[in-house]
Amino acid sequence: MGRILAAVAIACLLLLPLLLAGPYHLHVLILTMMYVVLASSLRLINLSGQMSLAHGGMMTVGAYTSTLLVMKAGFPFWVAMPLAGFSAALIAYVVGYPFVRLKGIYFSIVTIFFSEVVVLTAQQWQGLTGGNTGIFGIPRPSPVVIPRILRMDFSSKTDFYYLALVLMLVSLIILYAVERSRIGLILRGVQQADSLAESIGIDTTGFKVLAFTVGSFFAGLIGGFYCHYISAISPDAFSFLFTIYILVYVTVGGEKKFVGPILGAAVLTILPEVARPLKAFMPFLFAAVLIAVIFFVPEGMAGLPDLARRLMPRSEKRPARA
């Protein structure tokens, strides 16, 4: 059932640009797909029991890496973007070990601060990053040409849409594969009982760092994509508030299931666009939705079917008493 839905969804997404009117709709969809990847990768980190707020910082790292590689070192975009992901992963690996040893809220605090340090670095290292003003005129991705079949030169939003779609699908496939694998099982075990996992020989620190590294890779990757999409990057583009919004998507969508962050990101990005007049109230609505979720539906949107099943009148389920 799930596979059929996914196939249908993918088909729709592939055909969408042909049906939609304007570049603005495509822009919203591109953002949505970015947020889907960000939320899903953040969830992977949370899966190991560590609530990370470093995602914004990792995106900034990826964005600047890709930009500088392309503009100052002459790398082609198609090499620079994956390297953006790897640079974020490398940094995550380096800071991961000391960070992960901290318990609970203290881990979250240092990740908040990590994002801030990234912003400060980008602001201060003027020689490298152009300081507070950021970098403009970031070139488009170099064209993809398959003779007589395909030519994408990224002069239109449609090309970016398909690139974003491919990135999203590839990312989700990888994240899902990790989740379904033994790694996912181990991460969930570590989250439930990490001393127990240690006592049976699982290197819990190593696995937490692994989750942090892999999750951060995708943040860097999306950062690399984004700066070439809007042609500009500034130090505080992916601020603390930005990271918080991603966390909101994960929480509202539901952290327990893989599809949760996808739902959360999609609904919370598209809904404000659909209900345009309400845009001014968006922060309040978000806050209200958040509070409603925490108090009443802690498993998020993805948990609604289970919740409904639990609330169903019993008489439909139980056989009649003799």
Partner 1 sequence: MLEIEGLSKFFGGLEAVSEVDLVLNEGEKLGLIGPNGAGKTTFFNLVSGVITPTRGRIIFEGRNITGRSPHDIARKGIVRTFQGINIFPDFTVLENIVLSCHLKPGIGLVETVFRTAGSRRKEKAILSRSEEILDLVQLDGLAHVAAKNLAHGHKRILGIAIALAAEPKLLLLDEPLGGMNAHEVSETMALVDKLWQRGITILLIEHNMRATMNLCQRIVVLNFGRKIAEGTPEEIKRDQGVIRAYLGAGGHAA
Partner 2 sequence: MSAGALSQSVLNGLALSGIYILIALGLTLVMSIMGIVQVAHGEIYMIGAYAVYYMIAVLGGGFFLAIVVATLFVGGLGVLLERLCFRPFRGQPDRAFTVSIALILILQNVVLAIAGGNPLTYPSPFTGVLRILGVAISWKRLIIVLVGLGLLVCLFLFIKLTRTGQAMLAISQEREGAALQGMNIDRISAVAMFLGCGLAAVAGGFIGSLFSISPTMGSFALMKGIAVIILGGLGSIPGAVVGGAILGLVDGVLPALTTTHIAGLVGFATIIVILIFRPQGIWGHD
If binding is defined by CB under 8 A, does position 204 make contact with partner 1?
yes
Q: What is the smallest separation between the CB atom of 171 and partner 2, expressed in angstroms?
A: 24
If binding is defined by CB under 8 A, does position 286 make contact with partner 2?
yes
CB 46 within 8 A of CB 101: no
CB 227 within 8 A of CB 111: no
Q: What is the smallest separation between the CB atom of 146 and partner 2, expressed in angstroms?
A: 45
Window 239-258: contact mask with partner 2 (x via CB under 8 A) = xxx--x--xx--x-------
Q: How large is the angle between the packed helices 23-47 and 204-230, nearest 10 degrees?
A: 170
Among 178, 209, 265, 268, binds partner 1 (CB under 8 A): 178
CA triplet 225, 266, 277: central angle to 5 degrees?
Answer: 105
Among 132, 198, 283, 294, binds partner 1 (CB under 8 A): 198
Window 293-322: contact mask with partner 2 (x via CB under 8 A) = xxx--x------------------------
Which of partner 2, partner 1, none lies near 305, with the C-beta cut-off 5 to 8 A by kind? none
Size of site (CB under 8 A) for partner 2: 42
Cα distances (angstroms) measured from residue 232 to each of 43, 223, 235, 278, 281: 28, 11, 10, 29, 28
The nearer residue to partner 2, 170 or 294, going by C-beta atoms, is 294
Half-sphere exposure of 207 (CA within 13 A, CB side): 24
Report CA 320 to chain centroid distance, whole Å: 48
Distance CA 37, CA 272 (A): 19
If binding is defined by CB under 8 A, does position 193 make contact with partner 1?
yes
Instruction: Tell me the three state secondary structure of residue 102.
Output: coil
Distance CA 166, CA 160 (A): 10
144, containing H or E segment: strand 144-146
If binding is defined by CB under 8 A, does position 121 make contact with partner 2?
yes
The nearer residue to partner 2, 124 or 155, going by C-beta atoms, is 124
Binding site for partner 1 (CB under 8 A): 174, 177-178, 180-183, 185-186, 188-189, 192-193, 195-204, 210
Binding site for partner 2 (CB under 8 A): 51, 94-95, 98-99, 101-106, 108-110, 112-114, 116-117, 120-121, 123-126, 239-241, 244, 247-248, 251, 283-284, 286-287, 290-291, 293-295, 298
